[in-house]
């Protein structure tokens, strides 16, 4: 007994400090745990200087008119690809004679509202060739060649207002299809709302020429393609064909539209269409089966086909559900509840879906098969994001082989996330590790407004595809072949540039001459860009290695105007400059290309020409 008592006393005595240290070590371990979590998150996204990211993420620039390229997982901003807006920093569309300016100007306004970047695919994988994007406001689509990361085509789509959802028709990829979100009377140019229609337009994926359109009553919102060449899908939130927001939420159910593409092509071949504004438009009442409307709850938004091509998922937006539709039978398979404000859904390739919840400010991970089987444990995980997520996209989620490692949450509001910069804050993206059962938010990064959507492509997929330099055009001016060609008041200057010289360094013209500077950058190494800015003539362009740019200008008042290189290219960058010498009309002008290092005054002796600096 005594023995036992002693033991319990000892135990009690030992327990007291234990309880105290217990408290202390609990708080210490909580802090340690947080620190180690932060450290492991930081490690996940750390890419050492000189090392490359695993993915390129292309973020739609929204109102900014550009696509932003970020490295993932580091979240480093790497490049801006200007598309619908001039960008002087990159010499894009800021000079009236440039190809980029003409292409943009001819297609519509010099700004855009971009939403959905789409990557080209072959055999169910990204092939690293093209990136497309829509301009919702001006009914346009653009193509960027990933070889050069440059906009190579912009086309206006006839009969469309609010060119919104955009996707490639799979598996062939021969079309790109774009959804008309805003209904209007394009057949009669009228204003009677009863005649309002929208179209889903099918464009040639390379030229972006509109091949045909399918007319719909109501609108077409987000787009996604089946994987077997039969149907393409679109969510419709205004099946009411209403013109007020109250009217657009009248019905309890709207629809997912399924278009049978081979049937549409058949109708086209048989002439069953009406030409409207030069485009064959197929009316579903004349081609039964070309359009099927699948009822889904009120005002759906996201439309996403699963990687295996079996289902198309419509995210409920006003309904807390995602509707799972069989992509072949077009029957609804299940309608699981996922949370408030489901907008878009993406995939990890392991049978899980990730849906953005705008109202809950969460990403919810759920299992598709379990939801279809009615297994109540289909919700796997939820994670908070900051705040009000719109799109979410996992790496490779649009292909047949998602990578299942990273997911981006593209959030609308970033209050409190970054240094305050006035009433308007940057937009915010969060990077989430989805490689495990539980999601982990590991990084947040700001951007200009407003990335709606993003796509990732792996570094390997582009590794041997990105050009080192532009291919020199056969008509480009070669080093030593520079010349000035005059034809009355038209002057064409064939100029080269290379570190650290423009040749010629002097061009003589007359006041009012129409001058074209054809400038070729004859550098043969990557990254050796030169600029060409001309004082008082509104000219500033960039010429990348191997590229030729044409700069048209009207020579101003008589005088000396320097042109100079705007890209810091060498130790002699500041010396890389030349003169446009504008002479009065009728004065003699020289076509000489090679100049003396220092022209001396006629008849002056060496002594007289000396300066204080010699």
Per-residue HEC secondary structure of 386-412 comes to CCCEEEEEECCCCCCCCCCCEEEEEEC
Residue 19 backbone dihedrals phi, psi, to 5 degrees: -60, -45
Interaction between residue 87 and ligand RUQ (CB under 6 A): no
* Member of 299, 352, 529, 548 binding Ca ion (CB under 5 A): 299
Distance (Å, whole) CA 557 – CA 550: 22
472: which strand partners?
Answer: none
Q: How many CA atoms lie within 13 A of 112 on its CB side?
A: 34
| The entry of ligand RUQ, Ca ion, ligand CUA, none that residue 164 binds, CB within 5 to 8 Å by partner kind | ligand RUQ
Helix, strand, or coil (residue 251): coil
Nearer of residues 405 and 453 to ligand RUQ, judged by Cβ: 453
Per-residue burial over 511-521, b = 16 or more CB atoms within 10 Å of its CB, e = otherwise: bebebbbbbbb
Nearer of residues 152 and 340 to ligand RUQ, judged by Cβ: 340
* Contact map string, positions 455 to 494, toward ligand CUA, x by CB under 6 A: ----------------------------------------
Q: How far is the CB of 389 from ligand RUQ (least distance, A)?
A: 9
Interaction between residue 164 and ligand RUQ (CB under 6 A): yes
Interaction between residue 514 and ligand CUA (CB under 6 A): no
Nearer of residues 235 and 529 to ligand RUQ, judged by Cβ: 235
- Listed in order, strand segments (DSSP E) in 169-269 are 175-180, 198-204, 210-216, 223-225, 231-236, 253-260
Stretch near ligand CUA under the rule CB under 6 A, chosen from 113-121, 269-277, 437-445, 564-572: 564-572
* Member of 390, 396, 404, 546 binding ligand RUQ (CB under 6 A): 390
Residue for token pair 């439309």: 303
Distance (Å, whole) CA 135 – CA 162: 8
Nearer of residues 445 and 567 to ligand CUA, judged by Cβ: 567
Q: DSSP letter at 567?
A: S
Q: How far is the CB of 391 from ligand RUQ (least distance, A)?
A: 5
Task: Evaluate the omega torsion of the peptide bond into residue 88 and state whether it is cis, within 30 degrees of 0.
Answer: no
Nearer of residues 83 and 576 to ligand CUA, judged by Cβ: 576
* Contact map string, positions 345 to 374, toward ligand RUQ, x by CB under 6 A: ------------------------------
Q: How far is the CB of 523 from ligand CUA (least distance, A)?
A: 9
The two three-digit tokens of residue 413, written as one number: 């509001």
| The entry of ligand CUA, ligand RUQ, Ca ion, none that residue 565 binds, CB within 5 to 8 Å by partner kind | ligand CUA
Alpha helix (H) residue ranges in 295-394? 368-373
* Member of 45, 81, 576, 580 binding ligand CUA (CB under 6 A): 576
Measured from the Cβ of residue 539, the count of other Cβ atoms closer than 10 Å reads 20
Interaction between residue 573 and ligand CUA (CB under 6 A): yes
Nearer of residues 425 and 535 to ligand RUQ, judged by Cβ: 425
Q: Which of 343, 348, 409, 354 is nearest to 382 (CA)?
A: 354
C-alpha 332: how far from chain center:
32
| The entry of ligand CUA, Ca ion, ligand RUQ, none that residue 232 binds, CB within 5 to 8 Å by partner kind | none
Q: Which residue is nearest to Ca ion (CB)?
A: 254
Interaction between residue 294 and ligand CUA (CB under 6 A): no
* Member of 568, 575, 592, 604 binding ligand CUA (CB under 6 A): 568
Interaction between residue 391 and ligand RUQ (CB under 6 A): yes
Q: How far is the CB of 238 from Ca ion (least distance, A)?
A: 6
Q: How far is the CB of 251 from Ca ion (least distance, A)?
A: 5
* Member of 135, 254, 260, 430 binding Ca ion (CB under 5 A): 254
Interaction between residue 452 and ligand RUQ (CB under 6 A): yes
Nearer of residues 297 and 396 to Ca ion, judged by Cβ: 297
Interaction between residue 140 and ligand RUQ (CB under 6 A): no
* CA max distance for the chain: 126
Distance (Å, whole) CA 132 – CA 165: 12
DSSP string, 4-49: HHHHHHHHHHHHHHHHHHHHHHHHHHHHHHHHHHHHHHHHHH---T
Interaction between residue 530 and ligand RUQ (CB under 6 A): no
Interaction between residue 298 and ligand RUQ (CB under 6 A): no
Cβ-Cβ contacts under 8 Å for 26 (sequence gap 6 or more): none
Site residues for Ca ion, window 206-245 (CB under 5 A)? 237
Residue for token pair 């337009």: 201
Distance (Å, whole) CA 315 – CA 366: 13
Interaction between residue 562 and ligand CUA (CB under 6 A): no
Nearer of residues 248 and 256 to Ca ion, judged by Cβ: 248
Distance (Å, whole) CA 232 – CA 258: 6
Interaction between residue 133 and ligand RUQ (CB under 6 A): no
Distance (Å, whole) CA 18 – CA 403: 48
* Member of 129, 140, 530, 579 binding ligand CUA (CB under 6 A): 530
DSSP string, 450-482: ----EEEEEHHHHHTTS-SSPPPPTTSPPTT--
Residues forming contacts to ligand CUA in the complex (CB under 6 A) are 500, 530, 565, 567-569, 573, 576
- List residues near Ca ion by CB under 5 A: 237, 248, 254, 299
Binding site for ligand RUQ (CB under 6 A): 115-116, 164, 301, 343-344, 390-391, 452
């Amino acid at each position: 007994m005594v023995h036992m008592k002693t033991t319990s006393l000892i135990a009690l005595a030992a327990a007291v400090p234990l309880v105290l240290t217990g408290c202390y070590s609990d708080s210490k371990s909580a802090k340690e745990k947080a620190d180690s979590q932060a450290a492991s998150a930081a490690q996940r996204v750390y890419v050492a200087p000189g090392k490359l990211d695993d993915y390129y993420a292309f973020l739609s620039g929204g109102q900014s008119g550009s696509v932003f390229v970020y490295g993932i997982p580091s979240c480093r901003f790497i490049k801006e690809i200007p598309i619908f807006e001039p960008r002087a920093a990159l010499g894009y569309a800021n000079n009236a004679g440039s190809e980029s300016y003409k292409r943009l100007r001819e297609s519509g306004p010099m700004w855009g509202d971009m939403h959905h970047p789409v990557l080209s695919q072959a055999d169910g994988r990204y092939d690293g060739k093209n990136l497309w994007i829509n301009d919702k406001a001006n009914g346009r689509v653009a193509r960027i060649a990933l070889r050069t990361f440059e906009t190579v085509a912009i086309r206006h789509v006839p009969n469309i207002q609010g060119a919104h959802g955009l996707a490639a028709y799979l598996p062939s990829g021969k079309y790109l299809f774009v959804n008309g979100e805003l209904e209007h009377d394009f057949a009669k140019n009228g204003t009677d709302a009863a005649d309002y229609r929208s179209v889903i337009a099918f464009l040639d994926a390379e030229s972006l020429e509109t091949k045909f359109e399918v007319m719909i009553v109501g609108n077409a919102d987000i787009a996604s393609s089946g994987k077997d060449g039969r149907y393409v899908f679109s969510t419709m939130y205004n099946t009411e064909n209403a013109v007020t927001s109250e009217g657009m939420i009248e019905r309890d159910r709207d629809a997912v539209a399924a278009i049978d593409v081979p049937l549409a092509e058949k109708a086209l071949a048989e002439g069953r269409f009406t030409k409207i504004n030069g485009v064959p438009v197929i009316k579903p009442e004349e081609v039964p089966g070309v359009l099927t409307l699948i009822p889904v709850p009120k005002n759906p938004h996201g439309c996403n086909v699963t990687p295996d091509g079996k289902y198309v998922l419509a995210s409920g937006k006003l309904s807390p559900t995602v509707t799972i539709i069989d992509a072949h039978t077009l029957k609804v398979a299940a309608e699981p509840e996922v949370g408030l404000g489901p907008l878009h859904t993406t995939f990890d390739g392991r049978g899980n879906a990730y849906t953005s919840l705008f109202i809950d400010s969460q990403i919810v991970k759920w299992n598709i098969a379990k939801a279809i089987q009615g297994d109540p444990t289909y919700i796997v995980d939820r994670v908070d994001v900051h705040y009000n997520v719109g799109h979410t996209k996992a790496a490779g989620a649009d292909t047949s082989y998602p990578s299942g490692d990273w997911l981006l949450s593209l959030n609308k509001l970033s209050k409190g996330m970054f240094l305050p910069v006035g009433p308007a804050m940057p937009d915010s993206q969060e990077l989430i590790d989805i490689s495990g059962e539980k999601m982990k938010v590991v990084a947040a990064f700001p951007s200009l407004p407003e990335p709606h959507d993003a796509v990732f492509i792996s570094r390997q997929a582009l590794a041997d595809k990105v050009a080192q330099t532009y291919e020199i055009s056969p008509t480009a001016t070669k080093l030593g072949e520079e010349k000035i060609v005059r034809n009355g008041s038209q002057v064409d200057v064939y100029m080269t540039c290379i570190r650290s010289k423009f040749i010629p360094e002097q061009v003589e013209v007359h006041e009012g001459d129409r001058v074209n500077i054809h400038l070729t950058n004859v550098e043969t190494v990557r990254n050796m860009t030169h600029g060409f800015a001309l004082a008082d003539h509104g000219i500033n362009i960039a010429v990348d290695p191997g590229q030729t740019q044409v700069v048209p200008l009207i020579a101003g008042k008589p005088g000396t105007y320097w042109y100079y290189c705007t890209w810091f290219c060498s130790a002699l960058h500041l010396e890389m400059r030349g003169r446009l010498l504008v002479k009065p009309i009728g004065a003699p002008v020289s076509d000489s290309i090679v100049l003396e290092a220092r022209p001396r005054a006629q008849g002056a002796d060496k002594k007289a020409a000396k300066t204080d600096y010699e």
